[in-house]
Amino acid sequence: MGKYFDMLAEDVRLHEGLKACMNCGVCTAVCPAAEFYNYDPRQIVAIVQTRDDDEIERLLKGNAIWYCGECMSCRPRCPRGNTPGYVIQALRTLSQRLGFFVESEKGRQQLALKRMIGDNILATGYCLTPRNIRPELHPEQGAVWEWIYDNHEDVYGRFTETYLKEGAGALRRMDSESMKEIHRIFEVSGGKQFFDTIEQHSERKAREMGYDGATEEYMLETYTYNSENHY
Amino acid sequence: MRRASWQEYQKDIASDKYYYARSCIRQNFFPGSERAFLDILHNDLGIDVFDDPLHTSCTGIGYHSDVVPLETIMTVVARQFALMAEAGYENFISSCITSFGIYNEVLATWEEFPETEERTRKYLKEATGRELVKPRSIAHTSDIMFHHRQAIARKAKLRLVNRHTGEPLKVVEHIGCHYAKIFPKSGIGGSEFPYVLAGMIEAWGGDVVDYPERRHCCGFGFRNYLVQANRGSSVANSHKKLESMAPYKPDFIVANCPGCAMFLDKWQYAIAEMEGMTYGADGRGIPVLTYEEMAGLVLGYDPWELGMQMHQVDVEPLLDKMGVEYSPEAKYLGAGGKYIGKPADVAVNCFDQRRIYEIKR
């Protein structure tokens, strides 16, 4: 009893996010995710507060902890000064460290996020770059985005002289020394190891699900599949 | 009056000598605003802003997608602060709301859990050889624009007024959640009555629209948009806001978060395509501006040099209301001044409902 809670308690966000919750439900009332998902941050915090290993393990392996959008609308409204969003962050981190995230549809999406955002940081120094917002994966971006994407050098060139080039300015290419520093930061602070953990557990789960490993096909499946059982 | 409570949430904002940290989302979707911010400060207000070619992303989108660990983002942030100090600056400003929340969160974490600061210093030294120096002040670029709003008003060539009626334009202001919901004291006006955009709108002649879902999230929700399977949640939240604001007939929306500005623009497109529904009083979409675009129009900047052709919802109806002079032909020119073709017609820019359905067919 309390093993998982003790692991969560190693995360400073749990200390900051959960003192003693009185279960008033204000967080759920104001939560944009709770509005459209079958999601109740009040209940999540209540479960964590019980310190019950079985219940917390169910959370770590389930979909519920992945519905939150981390907008932190819960934080200023909680009358006890808790932050359910921080509790969610601690749960998600532990779920990935233990490899439990691959047991839920929403959790498995972490592979897509690691490859699309995480790998892009290590490749470019940015979370997002225009070339990885591909219109076929982003139909909601509309006709103007397609026009920008197709004419990217002309469109961006109007606003920045350093588009894809080194130097100061928007959308500049990162210099190699800065990129080396970012890589070293990810190495010494555990970022790369965390990425590897996501890959390893995804690889195991993909094979279990009949894929030939955590291939592009498996990653795209996690990115696009919606069972419609979340509302 | 509770509405006056914004005055209880004030913070010291430096007046000059800023170290500028760029935003990933903003430079992708609003590179004209990135440039306009620097131009307005340098050229119109004579202020020193350092645009450092060495800083990287804060990695905040990765952090809030839960793939970048806290220890890693703290070290990346420490590097940004080290670069600021090495460049001789101490007032750190960020053009991204996610980053702004991150910088405040990291500083607060170091304060409350000093062992995390010690660990970060060690990681930074080991990884880069650099020394962490904390900034004297942290501000978002909308704070800076707010701080100088009266100076901008004095140089205004246009006001936020409908030139046909003489009435103030009705403006919906949308504040990014991480501006003040994480640390209410870090934002002008706090989280309940943020005044950072309302102050600009009022100073430049417009009227602020108060509507029920004014403080609701735009719907970004990081993984709730970034993963295609989750985007229903993102659009549903934008939809809720748009439904709530539409009866007040806003002339435009202004946001201080680049993500929010992009989503409120793009989801109007998607809703029009999916449902044939538009939210502007004229039957089109409601234009969505960044605060630099709003400031730039007030100061007489060319809308296409501000990058407003990169919006999905056309801004021309707003430009006409304000009396902005612009060349329709210049909208779709590339870097060398040559015409590069134009995007396809879409329902959100069509005021005629019959035509919307023709486009959809």
Per-residue model confidence as pLDDT tens digits over B34-85: 999 999 999 999 999 999 999 999 999 999 999 999 999 999 999 999 999 9
Q: Do A168 and B52 touch (CB under 8 A)?
A: yes
- B127, B184, B229 ranked by CB distance to A181: nearest: B127
8 Å CB contact of B342 and A76: no
- The predicted-structure confidence for B273-291, as pLDDT tens digits, reads as follows 999 999 999 999 999 999 9
ipTM over 0.90? The verdict is yes
Contacts of B31 in chain A (CB under 8 A): 156, 159-160, 170-171
Q: Which residues contact A196 (CB under 8 A, 6 or more apart)?
A: none
Q: Taking the CB of residue A97, how many other CB atoms lie within 10 A of it?
A: 18
In sequence order, the 6+-apart residues with CB closer than 8 A to the CB of B341 are A147, A151, B332
DSSP summary character for residue B68: S
Please answer yes or no on whether B68 and A141 come within 8 Å at the CB atom: no
Other C-beta atoms lying within 10 Å of the C-beta of residue B8: 11
Q: Label residue A139 by pLDDT band (50, 70, 90).
A: very high
CA gap A189, B108 in Å, rounded: 19
Which whole number is the average pLDDT over A107-123?
Answer: 98
Mean predicted confidence (pLDDT) in B133-137: 97
Rounded Cα distance, B333 and B339, in Å: 5
B124 CB neighbours in chain A (<8 A) are 185
3-state secondary structure chain A: CCHHHHHHCCCHHHHHHCCCCCCCCHHHHHCHHHHHCCCCHHHHHHHHHHCCHHHHHHHHHCCHHHCCCCCCCHHHHCCCCCCHHHHHHHHHHHHHHCCHHHHCHHHHCHHHHHHHHHHHHHHHCCCCCHHHCCCCCCHHHHHHHHHHHHCHHHHHHCCCCCCCCCCCCCCCCCCHHHHHHHHHHHHHCCHHHHHHHHHHHHHHHHHHCCCCCCCHHHHHHHHHCCCCCCC
In angstroms, rounded to a whole number, what is the distance separating the alpha carbons of residues B28 and B34? 10
CA distance B227 to A222: 8
CB contacts, 8 Å: B22 with chain A: 170
Mean pLDDT score across all residues of chain A: 97
Smallest Cα distance from B109 to chain A, Å: 8
Q: What is the DSSP letter of B79?
A: H
Report the gap between the CA of B224 and the closest CA in chain A (Å). 6
Q: At residue B353, does pLDDT exceed 90?
A: no
Picking from B31, B116, B184, the nearest residue to A159 by CB comes out as B31
- Between residues 46 and 85 of chain B, which touch chain A (CB distance below 8 Å)? 51-57, 59-62, 64-72, 74-76, 79
Average pLDDT over residues B186-199: 92
Write the CB contacts of A67 (distance below 8 Å, at least 6 apart in sequence). Answer: A33, A34, A37, A39, A106, A230, B224, B233
Share of chain B above pLDDT 90, in %: 91
Residue among B245, B73, B226 at smallest CA distance from B172? B245
Tell which B residues from 260 to 299 touch A, by Cβ distance under 8 Å: 266-267, 269-270, 273
Structure tokens at A187: 């190495």
CA gap B33, B161 in Å, rounded? 22
For chain A, the straight-line distance linking the first and the last C-alpha, in angstroms and rounded, comes to 31
Residue contact A190–B69, C-beta within 8 A: yes
b/e map of B115-143 (b: 16 or more CB within 10 Å)? Answer: ebbebbbebbbebbebebebbeebbbbbb
Cβ count near B315 (within 10 Å): 24
Q: What's the N-to-C CA distance of chain B in angstroms?
A: 51
pLDDT at B355 exceeding the cut of 70: no
Query: Which of A37, A126, A187 is the closest to B233 by Cβ?
Result: A37
Lookup: tokens for B41: 């400060």
**Model confidence over B137-183: pLDDT tens digits?**
999 999 999 999 999 999 999 999 999 999 999 999 999 999 999 99
Residue of B nearest to A183 (CA): B127
Give the pair of three-digit tokens for residue A208. 């279990």
Beta-carbon contacts below 8 Å between A and B: 268
Nearest chain B residue to A69 by CA: give it. Answer: B221
Give the sheet arrangement for strand B170-174, strand by strand: B207-208, B170-174, B252-255, B288-290
- pLDDT classification of B8: cutoffs 50, 70, 90: confident
Closest of B173, B165, B114, B122 to residue B146, by C-alpha? B173
Chain B closest-CA separation from residue A188 CA (Å): 6
Task: Give residue B361's pLDDT.
Answer: 61
Q: How far is CA B203 from CA B13, B45, B113, B151, B194, in A?
A: 18, 16, 41, 10, 15
> Left, alpha or beta for B13 (phi > 0: left; psi -120 to 50: alpha)?
beta
- The H or E element containing residue B263 is helix B258-275
Closest residue in chain B to residue A226, using alpha carbons only: B229
Give strand ranges (E) for B170-211: 170-174, 207-208
Interacting residues of B49 by C-beta distance below 8 A, sequence separation 6+ = B18, B20, B38, B41, B42, B93
**DSSP-assigned beta bridge partners for residue B346:** none
Which positions in chain B touch A82 (Cβ < 8 Å)? none
List, in sequence order, every residue forming a beta bridge with B92; answer none if it has no partner.
B19, B138
Structure confidence at residue B354 (pLDDT): 63
pLDDT of res. A167: 93
> What mean pLDDT is predicted for residues B294-321?
98
CA distance B14 to chain A (A): 23
Question: What per-residue confidence (pLDDT) applies to A113?
Answer: 98
Does residue B303 sit in helix, strand or coil?
Answer: coil
Q: Which of residues 119-138 of B touch A (CB under 8 A)?
A: 123-124, 126-128
Give the C-alpha separation, B106 to B85, whole Å: 17
CB–CB of A188 and B346 under 8 A? Answer: no
Burial, B336: exposed, middle or buried (Cβ in 10 Å; 0-12, 13-18, 19+)?
exposed
* Minimum distance, in Å, between the CA of residue B54 and any CA atom of chain A: 6
Phi, psi of B49 (to 5 degrees): -125, 130
pLDDT bucket at A36, cuts 50 / 70 / 90: very high
- CA-based nearest residue to A208, from A223, A216, A218: A218
CB contact under 8 A, B56 and A137: no
Nearest to B116 among A12, A128, A147 (CB): A12
**Contact state of B57 with A117 under an 8 Å Cβ cutoff:** no
Q: What mean pLDDT, rounded, does chain B reach?
A: 95
CB contacts of A182 in chain B (<8 Å) are 56, 76
Q: Nearest Cβ partner of A151 from B70, B305, B340? A: B340
Tell me the average pLDDT across A98-121: 98
> What confidence tens digit (pLDDT) does each residue in B224-233 have?
999 999 999 9
B21–chain A Cβ distance below 8 A for any pair: no
Question: Quick one: average pLDDT of B120-126?
Answer: 98
Q: Which string of DSSP letters, residue by residue, matches B202-229?
A: HHTT-EEPP-TTTTS--S--THHHHSGG
pLDDT of B12 reads: 83
The residue of chain A with its CA nearest to that of B223 is A69
Section B215-224 average pLDDT: 96
Residue B2: which pLDDT band, with cuts at 50, 70 and 90?
A: low
Q: Give B63's DSSP letter.
A: H
Residue of A nearest to B270 (CA): A140
Longest dimension (CA), chain B: 64
Q: pLDDT digits over A183-198, tens only? A: 999 999 999 999 999 9
d(CA B150, CA B164): 25
pLDDT tens-digit readout, B225-261: 999 999 999 999 999 999 999 999 999 999 999 999 9
Q: Which of B27, B37, B74, B178 to mutate to test the interface with A (most CBs of A within 10 A)?
A: B27
Q: Quick one: pLDDT at residue B3? A: 62
- The sheet carrying B137-140 orders its strands as B49-51, B18-21, B91-94, B137-140
- List the beta strands (DSSP E) in B59-206: 91-94, 137-140, 170-174
pLDDT at residue B192, as a whole number: 86
Please list every residue in chain A whose beta carbon sits closer than 8 Å to the beta carbon of residue B178: 71-72
Q: Do A69 and B224 touch (CB under 8 A)?
A: yes
